[in-house]
Copies of this chain bind each other. A is one copy, B any other.
């Protein structure tokens, strides 16, 4: 249902007259498309009999070697043998849920959390226990408390699912100090960690942060993706997992799709081998930083009193909290009518909360459009506030029982 809601929203949001701050599409037009095209053409002409053939379920060995070089930028030391190439990170999540989750199991995740992960966990009938985050990411004390409570309740916790860098949707990053603490807590409770890291190389200010996986090879399953650092159209992500998990993942991948696209894999492999990919990531970072700045400046200039938002140091998203009494979900149709789209916060919670929040993406629209979108959004919020002043609050209460604090950064 959440997926359908968002799909309906995106269908409307793609109309040209609407400024969409909803989608998480990277700016692939910033790539040298002619160069990539030439590379693909040559690859197919020269080695098509292999590139257009079936591959293996685990993925091309040379690509897996390259993936290890990419992860080394975040301090990860790994063998290509423990990497499984996936159809984006999403397939990695699906395969992990498939091998780990039995109905009624618990997955611990940030509040809010990535909507695609929540959808997959729900599909496998996991129950999500949310743990709040703040400006420095997941709150260790809250994680400890939640794991303790779940243990006392005799619940089976399968893993902690976390997006440590430039969180989707919250835009925050887990601090270096907290990383060690999170690993310690999970070790103490013998809980695996699924580190979902599509944005790690897209930080605006400093070198990539050290991955959780870099400090615990046995406990952490790392998910990566080329969707944001190269292009999503290839659908190439990966899972780095401890050996026993990796073996199960390969069997699951084989059952799910037989083999991955060789063409896509060879394209990414060739791109990493022959193109200045680190320079390209730098270009992406500069492009997204400019857009982030535009969004933060526009929000500061235009949003009415009482709104709060996160200040991402990388990635694609700002997480905005409306003044008390407003409801981002109820407001969405009126925003569309005012020709601006966002994703209401409710999709990012498994417990029916999130009404006061929205995710704003700055990754895709040009800066002038971002500013125009924020202008339109501000006008909608103003109008809601004046309606509220006249008729009183429309905020619903949570539709489920769990009490999940909103990110207290907001």
Contacts and interface: CB of A to CB of B under 8 A. Distances in A.
B52 A31 contact: yes
A38 B34 CA distance: 12
A255 interface: yes
Interface residues of A, number: 56
Most buried by B among A46, A232, A234: A232
A26 to B, nearest CB: 8
Contacts of A119: 254-255
Given A255-B123, A258-B90, A44 B52 contact: no
Contact of A49 (B33, B94, B260): B33
Contact of A36 (B7, B34, B52, B235): B52
Nearest to A43: B37
Nearest to A56: B7
A45 B52 contact: no
B53 A45 contact: no
Interface of A: 3-4, 7, 25-26, 28-29, 31, 33-34, 36-38, 40-46, 48-49, 51-55, 87-88, 90-91, 94, 116, 119-120, 123, 227, 231-235, 251-252, 254-264, 267
Given A90-B256, A90-B258, A94-B255, 18 more contacts: A25-B54, A28-B48, A31-B48, A33-B52, A34-B45, A36-B44, A52-B231, A52-B232, A52-B234, A53-B232, A54-B232, A55-B233, A91-B257, A116-B258, A123-B255, A233-B262, A235-B260, A264-B264
